[in-house]
Homo-oligomer: A and B are copies of this chain.
Amino acid sequence: MPHAEMNAGAGVTGPSPWDQAVDRIRAGGLRWTPQRRTLIEVLREREGHVTATELIARCRERDQTTTPSTVYRTLDLLEDLGLVRHGHGHDGREEYHILPQEVHGHLYCVGCGTTWELRPETGAVIVEALASQLGFSVDLSHVTISGRCAGCHD
Contacts and interface: CB of A to CB of B under 8 A. Distances in A.
A90 B92 CA distance: 8
A139 B110 CA distance: 9
Contacts of A126: 125-126, 129, 145
Contacts of A109: 136
B147 A145 contact: no
A134 B123 CA distance: 11
| Majority SS at the chain A contact face | mixed
A145 B130 contact: yes
A74 interface: no
A122 B138 CA distance: 14
Contacts of A130: 107, 118, 122, 145, 147
Nearest to A107: B136
Contacts of A144: 143-144
Contacts of A153: 137
16 contacts: A88-B88, A88-B90, A109-B136, A116-B134, A122-B133, A125-B125, A126-B126, A126-B129, A130-B147, A136-B150, A137-B147, A137-B148, A137-B153, A138-B145, A142-B145, A143-B143
